[in-house]
Amino acid sequence: MKQRSEKIVERIIQEHKDQKKKKNNESATHEDFVDVLLKFQDRMTLEIFAAGSETSSSAVDWAMAEMIRNRRVMKKAQEEVRQVFNKKGKVDEAGISDLKYLKSVVKETLRLHPSAPLLLPRESINAWAIGRDPKYWTEPESFMPERFVDSNIDFKGNNFEYIPFGAGRRICPGISYGVLNIELPLAFLLYHFDWKLPYGLKHEDLDMTELFGVSVRRKDHLSVIPIAYDDLKINSQEG
């Protein structure tokens, strides 16, 4: 019965989509309830992608800044990424699951710099403060991805000391999409380039000032110099 009902609904939706294509160049004369629902579906999809893109780009920025300040972490993450993808010669989604250390880097980044520091609605929960609470975290102000290696703490909201995406009924519905949107760009950046700071700036002097709002962004854009990995390989072979 359930399968029959689903087929009927799918047929109705497809009929409305087909009619919309036919009337694409004509003025709409009538819209029923299904047409309205399909419009809302398109808008919600756009909103999810737009919101996810902004918070993910901010997280990538924070992760790169933290790794540049912590060269040991950068080296370890870069070695892992290049070991996984060197045979392929490119980064792809299929290999992301093998990047255990990079996943820990992402978790540690979101612990210190959650994209949404205050979880709404109703009574606000300060996810930013929870992630830095010394009752739950050893050296809470230090960037240590190793704390998540072999740990069962994840993004699902089961561990209330770590809720960058919220928890319970109001947990972010786009966790998988959001996390992949952080992991994949980071893997690209770490695989294809080495990174250094300009103008003799020291790593420990990198400005990490936060700009608070609906999301937490870096006050200043991260300014770094990329060195192509292919050039590094050629130079090492010539040497």
Please tell me the distance from the alpha carbon of residue 133 to that of residue 127, in angstroms, as a whole number: 10
Residue 41 phi/psi, 5-degree rounding, is: -60, -45
As a whole-number percent, the residues of the chain with pLDDT over 90 amount to 35
Please tell me the distance from the alpha carbon of residue 239 to that of residue 220, in angstroms, as a whole number: 38
34-56 pLDDT, tens per residue?
Answer: 676 666 666 655 555 555 566 78
Q: What fold does the segment set 52-238 form as a domain?
A: Cytochrome p450 (1.10.630)
Determine how many CB atoms are found less than 10 A away from the CB of residue 22.
8
Please tell me the distance from the alpha carbon of residue 42 to that of residue 218, in angstroms, as a whole number: 31
Burial of 105 (0-12, 13-18, 19+ CB in 10 A): buried
Question: Which residues make Cβ contacts (< 8 Å) with residue 69, sequence separation at least 6?
Answer: 143, 203, 204, 206, 208
> Hey, what are 233's tokens?
């390989």
**Which pLDDT score, from 0 to 100, does residue 161 have?**
87
**pLDDT average, residue stretch 133-158:** 91
Residue 118 phi/psi, 5-degree rounding, is: -115, 120
Contact (Cβ atoms closer than 8 angstroms) between residue 77 and residue 102 = yes
Q: If DSSP codes are grouped into helix, strand and coil, which group holds residue 194?
A: strand
**Which pLDDT score, from 0 to 100, does residue 216 have?**
72
More confident site: 177 or 146: 146
Strand partners, 196: 225
Please tell me the distance from the alpha carbon of residue 126 to that of residue 166, in angstroms, as a whole number: 10
Nearest Cα to Cα of residue 104 among 130, 139, 67, 71: 67
| Residue 134 annotated as lining a ligand binding site | no
As a whole-number percent, the residues of the chain with pLDDT over 70 amount to 71
Strand partners, 79: none
Residues in the chain: 239
187-201 pLDDT, tens per residue?
Answer: 999 999 999 888 878
Averaged confidence pLDDT in the chain: 80
More confident site: 4 or 138: 138
Tell the residue number behind the tokens 């993808």, with chain if given.
85
Task: Record the pTM.
Answer: 0.73
Please tell me the distance from the alpha carbon of residue 194 to that of residue 102, in angstroms, as a whole number: 16
Burial of 21 (0-12, 13-18, 19+ CB in 10 A): exposed
Contact (Cβ atoms closer than 8 angstroms) between residue 84 and residue 95 = yes
